[in-house]
């Protein structure tokens, strides 16, 4: 009982420090009304406080004042909830400092997924993973050194190793000319573009394929490719540093179309940006980005634009430390996959495809044939 009272007092101090209360006058005194605490769960691994906000308290206070909560409760803190009902979890363990990519380690966890994505481990050593067939769009952002490049390598390597070219096709755009060139020649890859002008041909073909798939759904009277009497491959589109093409409205609109219509058609989207672009993400993309991952952001504004409030508070010295938002926001240590290891892993899946020039696209014949 004494421990619970002590923990309750700490939470009240955290609320006071973050100004999570309503004030009113009682005579000559100003009284603070704090959130209603429902339950305190104290284990060897964590302490979790469940509570509800008083009417009139803006729930976004936790986005702006998480630092004040951490000043009282400690740095390993996560806040989850919406509107009125929230929980604060104070972890007693430390996040792993390095999570090396090990396909065999997480293989049993992803075997039943159609499009497995594995991005790292949480504070308890559990893998953070999901099926992109169900959560079809992803935004990855963060400052230089946040771990985006390693994460993209890991995501693509997992898809390539776990699925055959008949099951998945990849359409890649590496506008930074930095990371995705490693996947040149991989038999799953239909195109690899390095400039906006190089994206026009493969992305126009992609749009045509989306229309074709839409017609097939209508013809067979189904609402998803899963309902078709034959199997179509999933198509995963990756655009690294999309902000470079923000003025290319035709391309941006096509990418928005993938985000909004792709799920039923089996077309999926991964967007990466160093600095989240407010203009791009205020467009039709915003409501259709199902999963958001952020490394450290420069400030609270960038973190908010990225859709991962609190990302600006990630320790600058914690390389690979990230936050993910699906329903709630969770901190994790991103998987580390360096270039040489990535090359070794995907070498068995490469074909002998010559690079015509440093600025050319790779457009291999897809399983749909030359007309795709």
Q: How many alpha carbons fall within 13 Å on the CB side of residue 337? A: 26
Give the Cα separation of 94 and 167 in Å (integer).
39
Which pLDDT score, from 0 to 100, does residue 287 have? 79
Q: Which domains does the chain have, with CATH numbers?
A: 2-91 (3.90.1070), 99-363 (3.40.50.300)
pLDDT digits (tens, 9 = 90+) for 207-249: 999 999 999 999 999 999 999 999 999 999 999 999 899 889 8
Which pLDDT score, from 0 to 100, does residue 352 have? 67
**Segment 206-212 long-range contacts (CB within 8 Å, at least 24 positions apart):** 206/171, 206/235, 206/237, 206/254, 206/258, 206/267, 207/254, 207/257, 208/372, 209/235, 209/267, 209/368, 209/372, 210/257, 210/258, 210/261, 210/262, 210/265, 210/267
Which pLDDT score, from 0 to 100, does residue 363 have? 40
Which pLDDT score, from 0 to 100, does residue 46 have? 92
Give the Cα separation of 287 and 48 in Å (integer).
30
Q: Strands, E, within the chain: which ranges?
A: 22-26, 29-33, 36-42, 46-52, 77-82, 85-91, 99-100, 116-121, 127-131, 137-141, 168-174, 189-193, 234-240, 267-273, 291-294, 321-325, 329-336, 362-363
Is residue 331 within 8 A of residue 340, CB to CB? The reply is no
Please give the model's pTM, rounded to 2 decimal places.
Answer: 0.82
Is residue 283 within 8 A of residue 297, CB to CB? The reply is no
Which pLDDT score, from 0 to 100, does residue 357 have? 39
Which stretches in the chain have pLDDT values below 70? 283-284, 352-372
Which pLDDT score, from 0 to 100, does residue 283 have? 66
Q: What is the largest CA-CA distance in the chain?
A: 83
């Amino acid at each position: 009982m004494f421990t619970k009272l002590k923990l309750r007092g700490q939470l009240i101090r955290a609320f006071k420090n973050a100004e999570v209360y309503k004030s009113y006058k009682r005579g000559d005194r100003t009284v603070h009304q704090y959130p209603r605490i429902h339950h305190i769960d104290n284990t060897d691994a964590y302490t979790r406080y469940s509570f509800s906000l008083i009417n009139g308290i803006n729930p976004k206070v936790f986005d702006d004042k998480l630092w004040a909560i951490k000043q009282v409760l400690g740095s390993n803190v996560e806040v989850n909830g919406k509107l009125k009902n929230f929980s604060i979890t104070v972890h007693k363990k430390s996040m792993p400092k390095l999570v090396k990519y090990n396909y065999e380690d997480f293989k049993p966890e992803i075997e039943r997924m159609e499009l497995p994505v594995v991005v790292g481990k949480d504070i308890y050593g559990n893998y953070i993973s999901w099926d992109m067939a169900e959560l079809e769009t992803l935004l990855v952002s963060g400052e230089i050194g946040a771990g985006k490049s390693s994460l993209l390598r890991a995501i693509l390597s997992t898809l390539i190793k776990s699925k055959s070219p008949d099951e998945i096709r990849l359409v890649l755009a590496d506008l930074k000319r930095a990371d995705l060139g490693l996947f040149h020649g991989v038999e799953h890859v239909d195109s690899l573009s390095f400039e906006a002008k190089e994206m026009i041909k493969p992305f126009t073909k992609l749009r045509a394929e989306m229309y074709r798939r839409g017609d097939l759904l209508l013809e067979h009277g189904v609402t998803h490719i899963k309902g078709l009497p034959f199997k179509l491959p999933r198509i995963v589109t990756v655009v690294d540093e999309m902000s470079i093409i923000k003025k290319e409205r035709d391309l941006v609109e096509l990418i928005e179309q993938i985000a909004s219509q792709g799920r039923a058609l089996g077309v999926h989207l991964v967007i990466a940006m160093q600095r989240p672009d407010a203009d791009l993400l205020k467009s039709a993309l915003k409501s259709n980005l199902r999963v958001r991952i952020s490394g450290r952001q420069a400030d609270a504004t960038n973190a908010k634009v990225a859709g991962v409030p609190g990302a600006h508070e990630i320790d600058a010295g914690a390389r690979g430390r990230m936050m993910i938002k699906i329903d709630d926001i969770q901190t994790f240590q991103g998987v580390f996959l360096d270039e040489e290891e990535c090359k070794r892993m995907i070498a068995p899946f490469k074909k002998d495809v010559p690079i015509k020039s440093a600025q050319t696209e790779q457009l291999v014949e897809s399983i749909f044939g030359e007309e795709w």
